[in-house]
Chains A and B, each alone.
Chain A
Amino acid sequence: MAILVYAEHDNQHLKSETSKLITAAQKMGGDIHLLVAGENVGDIAQDAAKISGVAKVIVADNNAYAHQLAENIADLVLELGKAYSHILAAATTTGKNFMPRVAALLDVAQISDIIDVESDDTFVRPIYAGNAIATVKTSDAIKVVTVRAAAFDAASAEGSAPIENVETVKLAEKSAFVSESLTESERPELTAADVIISGGRGMQNGENFKLLEGIADKLGAAIGASRAAVDAGFVPNDMQVGQTGKIVAPQLYIAVGISGAIQHLAGMKDSKIIVAINKDEEAPIFQVADYGLVGDLFEVLPELESSL
């Protein structure tokens, strides 16, 4: 048995999801091979080789993989993956995009977004926005699985796996990359941050998110948002936390002006400590908060910033 794990990266850095995937793979058992596909990913491959538990790093370095186009990546993973018992990727927008293609072309089911591993063929996954937890068993010879990285601890970085290059180039003709607009931020990424402060519709506008920035700076926090705040155009889509946004589990999550709809809770209720700041003492967010502060955020936030 050997497991092929698809490394999550942005062509510049290996993402923290990758070492969490390795922990998930270790629970399935078997040699772990980590595939790094992208363009100019030499440094990323070096970092990947350091993750403890990785037996081999496979590098596919080609312009065809620069933008993680689903068609190209799926064909590459399909070709390499046939030799494995399991194929794993993070349940990120990259993994969600190409993995079902791999599953369909192998004629196997995909098990999406697992949060635990019971055995090599039995996995635990949330359904209904996390309001139910299903344990499922697959009968397929090759298990195609996406992993909710936030549910697993990161493997340490004490390894030194050999690196092997593959020359396979898969280039689909019917789809092409046009452009990308990526949010630049000095702050930690939402999915990697120890502390997150998120704003909702209660923030009233994008300008007011500055009130969160001072606090985020002091706590080294990432800034998130509810869907309502993104829909209203206060902040960009990549900040959305929830069932259809990012799933996070930081040490501390501070929800400001967020009511606590089930779809938002789905993305953050596994945080270690939850703080809610809301002027409505009946807001459902208080039911999951360890510490609730009923008050007007426009008074609370400046005071919080100055007392940190």
Chain B
Amino acid sequence: MIVSRYYIVKRLSIEVKMKILVPVKRAIDYNVKVRVKPDNSAVDLTNTKMSINPFCEIAVEEAVRLKEKGVATEIVVVSIGDKACQEQIRTALALGADRGIQIDTDAQLDSLQIAKLLQKVVEEESPELVILGKQSIDSDNNQTGQMLAALTGMPQGTFASEVNVDDGKVNVTREIDGGLQTVQLTLPAVVTTDLRLNEPRYASLPNIMKAKRKPLDVKSAADFGVDLTSHVSVIKVTPPPQREGGIKVADVAELVEKLKNEAKVI
């Protein structure tokens, strides 16, 4: 009798509480054409339009959909950066996340330090699912989700194009070079998003207003007891080699002639 009651309580507690943690990054807007600083030290971001990294936005959308389906009960967004990244947290709150955490730092952190900070957040928040973008379109590293999974001992489903949560497990369909692969992970788990997972909604004006009143905690990165020193130094950043503009050909005959006799590629 006692055993079965325990069983019911346990099942209930699984079903009523499922928290999703969504780390988001403030990044250059994907429409902006980047310029390298003349001194070749970095990319010039002064007065550049910044947005939520597109893959992170897809992660927020997926979490919101899981909440709308009744699978998730709470969505916590976390961003690591200076005060400016509160803007991206507010964007995520406007899309439907419940509360935000800003981990305040001015330092340029690499994926490893980000993953270590997120590990601490995972320890504090105990989410059942962490959904992250597979890469950010600035550093193009594609590392943080995998590192977080490794550090926390959670299983990982990367480059997801479909996510199904059922009975303590999540099935993740992954976009791989040869096609698609589906893996099953025991919760808690880490999922990273690919482009085709969903199409994020636009935040409505009332939801943008509501987002302003949702809770946003600010914590200092220094308080987490994580070594934030980067192991990587940037020697220089240069523009890519520019391609010489080519020519227009008049018709197919000229194209084939050029490819055969000038370029010699067919």
Set of chain B residues within 8 Å of A172, measured between Cβ atoms: 155
State the total of A-B contacts with C-beta under 8 angstroms: 254
Extra pairs beyond A100-B150, A243-B140 (10, CB < 8 Å): A104-B115, A109-B111, A110-B112, A113-B142, A132-B34, A140-B231, A237-B179, A244-B194, A251-B265, A291-B258
Question: CB < 8 Å: which of B34, B176, B240, B266 contacts A238?
Answer: B176
The reply to whether A293 and B263 contact each other, CB–CB distance below 8 Å, is no
Set of chain B residues within 8 Å of A263, measured between Cβ atoms: 30
B206 within 8 A of A: no
A201 within 8 A of B: no
User: Do A180 and B231 form a contact, CB below 8 Å, given A112-B141, A291-B247?
Assistant: no
The reply to whether A96 and B142 contact each other, CB–CB distance below 8 Å, is yes
State in angstroms the CA–CA spacing of A107 and B251 once bound together: 57
| Interface hits, A216-238 → B, CB 8 Å | 219, 227, 230-231, 236-238
- Give the top 5 A-B pairs by smallest Cβ distance, nearest first: A100-B146, A290-B246, A175-B155, A104-B147, A101-B150
Set of chain B residues within 8 Å of A131, measured between Cβ atoms: 33-34, 43, 239-240
User: Do A133 and B266 form a contact, CB below 8 Å, given A288-B243, A292-B248?
Assistant: no
The reply to whether B231 and A108 contact each other, CB–CB distance below 8 Å, is yes
User: Do A133 and B240 form a contact, CB below 8 Å, given A101-B150, A293-B251?
Assistant: yes
B151 within 8 A of A: yes
The reply to whether A174 and B154 contact each other, CB–CB distance below 8 Å, is yes
A289 within 8 A of B: yes
Set of chain A residues within 8 Å of B240, measured between Cβ atoms: 126, 130-133, 269
The reply to whether B185 and A174 contact each other, CB–CB distance below 8 Å, is yes
State in angstroms the CA–CA spacing of A286 and B171 once bound together: 42
Please give the distance in Å from A250's CB to the nearest CB on chain B: 9
Please give the distance in Å from A86's CB to the nearest CB on chain B: 14
Binds A, one of B3-11, B84-92, B131-139: B131-139
State in angstroms the CA–CA spacing of A5 and B28 once bound together: 34
The reply to whether B159 and A180 contact each other, CB–CB distance below 8 Å, is no
Set of chain A residues within 8 Å of B239, measured between Cβ atoms: 131-133
Question: CB < 8 Å: which of B138, B161, B234, B259 contacts A273?
Answer: B259
Set of chain B residues within 8 Å of A62, measured between Cβ atoms: none
The tally of residues in B whose CB lies under 8 Å from a CB in A reads 79
The reply to whether A112 and B140 contact each other, CB–CB distance below 8 Å, is yes
Binds B, one of A31-39, A151-159, A300-308: A300-308
State in angstroms the CA–CA spacing of A71 and B134 once bound together: 17
State in angstroms the CA–CA spacing of A97 and B158 once bound together: 7
State in angstroms the CA–CA spacing of A245 and B191 once bound together: 18
A166 within 8 A of B: no
The reply to whether A100 and B265 contact each other, CB–CB distance below 8 Å, is no
Please give the distance in Å from B42's CB to the nearest CB on chain A: 8
State in angstroms the CA–CA spacing of A113 and B112 once bound together: 16
Q: Considering the complex, give the chain A residue whose CB is closest to the CB of B55.
A: A244
State in angstroms the CA–CA spacing of A290 and B263 once bound together: 9
Q: Considering the complex, give the chain B residue whose CB is closest to the CB of A112.
A: B141
Please give the distance in Å from B29's CB to the nearest CB on chain A: 12
State in angstroms the CA–CA spacing of A179 and B245 once bound together: 46
B222 within 8 A of A: no
Q: Considering the complex, give the chain A residue whose CB is closest to the CB of B174.
A: A93
Question: CB < 8 Å: which of B112, B181, B196, B248 contacts A103?
Answer: B112
State in angstroms the CA–CA spacing of A235 and B159 once bound together: 18
Set of chain B residues within 8 Å of A274, measured between Cβ atoms: 243, 246
The reply to whether A74 and B150 contact each other, CB–CB distance below 8 Å, is yes
Set of chain B residues within 8 Å of A289, measured between Cβ atoms: 246
B237 within 8 A of A: yes
The reply to whether A177 and B263 contact each other, CB–CB distance below 8 Å, is no
Interface 0/1 of A152-185, CB less than 8 Å to B: 0000000000000000000011111111111100
The reply to whether A291 and B259 contact each other, CB–CB distance below 8 Å, is yes
The 25 sampled A-B contact pairs (Cβ below 8 Å) are A70-B149, A92-B177, A96-B159, A98-B146, A100-B144, A100-B150, A104-B147, A108-B112, A112-B143, A113-B142, A128-B34, A135-B234, A135-B235, A174-B155, A178-B184, A180-B178, A180-B181, A180-B182, A237-B175, A237-B196, A244-B194, A252-B259, A273-B259, A300-B252, A304-B256
Please give the distance in Å from A10's CB to the nearest CB on chain B: 6
Please give the distance in Å from B20's CB to the nearest CB on chain A: 18
The reply to whether A178 and B137 contact each other, CB–CB distance below 8 Å, is no
The reply to whether A307 and B253 contact each other, CB–CB distance below 8 Å, is yes
State in angstroms the CA–CA spacing of A93 and B30 once bound together: 22
Set of chain B residues within 8 Å of A286, measured between Cβ atoms: 246, 248
Question: CB < 8 Å: which of A139, A272, A275, A293 contacts B233?
Answer: A139
B230 within 8 A of A: yes
Interface 0/1 of B170-210, CB less than 8 Å to A: 01001111111111111001000011100000000000000
